[in-house]
Copies of this chain bind each other. A is one copy, B any other.
Amino acid sequence: MGRSLNVAIVGATGMVGRELLRVLEQRRFPIAGLRLLASARSAGSLMRFDGREYTVEETTPESFAGADLVFISVSSQVSRELVPIAARAGAVVIDDSKAWRLEPDVPLVVPEVNGETLSGHRGIVATPNCEVAPLVLCLWPLHRRNPVRRVVVDTYQSVSGTGWAAVEELKEQTRAALEGREYRPQVYPHPIAFNVIPHVEPFGEDGYTREEAAIVHETRKIMGEPELAISATCVRVPVLVGHSLAVHVEFERPFDPHEARELLSQAPGVKVVDDPAAALYPTPLQAAGDDLCLVGRIRRDSSCERGLALWIACDNLRKGAAVNLVQIAEELLARNLI
């Protein structure tokens, strides 16, 4: 690649922000200069990157001067405000929020699937929801062989998808439950310790949550199939890191599970873990820390002769977020789009 970039990270102290720093370091992303940005509350704190110490600064409209590339991992509301400012300052912005993903002129990218859509970017690129990246990574190689017609997904999502406060809540609430103490839920509307909650993001009029709608619309956009039939139930489970998905896919024609396993084992970004007799299948604990999306339990769907059932687990902070963000940046460099 040769070229090094001036990089800014907004939301550097968040869960994804911290993971992003690790990924940039591990993948030796070519950084000329680095600015770590956050809210006023986090400003002044120190973070290490590549052996150096950086002071986190408060994000202001002037923070983006001179930046070639800005990663933004903050709430949708804040992202809506900051992304245009950073883009107008001349940077390419890669955004992790829900704010821009469905905008027609914003590429929504999983590089292994639709990296070529980056060529149309106008300064803003979005990374998908943390379940969507693993889902499309597994659907895409199958879809190219035998078109996907319908997808049913039920998720098992870890609390790190919500952020630090949720991780602390799960730990503290679990301690309290084990000791028989009361602990009033603060982050979630119900206790998450030793419980599951079928409520990820707010509900819409149609009874689906914003997270479930995101799976539908983002998967369609990334796969370039605007009518694809998808239904999801998104469920928060008491897991710290790693999202899992039970997936039932209907294809145009019957799909031999052996062929599907073979295709997935050659697919970029995917690792097949599928030897049930030896108790080998993906679990979130195993996926945590891995940059690949794990898939297993690949079998015929017993309710549909043109169907397959799959089980996926993926580190929601890495391939579900930080790794994909960095891969998008690498792809922009490789395609001379930055």
Residues of A within 8 A of B (CB): 150-152, 154, 156, 170-171, 174-175, 178, 189-191, 194-199, 203, 206-208, 216, 229-233, 235, 237-240, 244, 246, 248, 257, 276-277, 279, 281-286, 296-304, 307, 309, 311
- Known A175-B178, A283-B196, A299-B208; judge A231-B309 contact (CB<8 A): yes
Residues of B within 8 A of A248 (CB): 152, 231, 233, 248
Residues of B within 8 A of A207 (CB): 257, 276, 297-300
Residues of B within 8 A of A301 (CB): 152, 231
Scoring A154, A230, A285, A304 by chain B CB atoms within 10 A of each residue's CB, the highest score goes to: A154
Minimal beta-carbon separation of A15 from chain B (angstroms) = 16
- Please tell me which one of the listed residues B198, B229, B276, B303 contacts residue A150 in the complex, with CB atoms under 8 A apart: B303
Tell me the complex Cα distance, A161–B12, Å: 43
Interface of A is mostly: mixed
What's the number of copies of this chain in the assembled complex? 2
Q: Is the CB of A237 within 8 A of B276?
A: no
Tell me the complex Cα distance, A107–B137, Å: 45
Considering the complex, give the chain B residue whose CB is closest to the CB of A245: B154
- A-B CB contact pairs (8 Å), 6 listed: A198-B244, A198-B311, A199-B281, A231-B309, A232-B302, A237-B238
10 tightest Cβ-Cβ pairs between the two chains A and B = A207-B299, A231-B303, A189-B279, A154-B154, A154-B246, A203-B276, A229-B303, A233-B246, A195-B285, A231-B302
Tell me the complex Cα distance, A110–B286, Å: 39
Minimal beta-carbon separation of A187 from chain B (angstroms) = 13
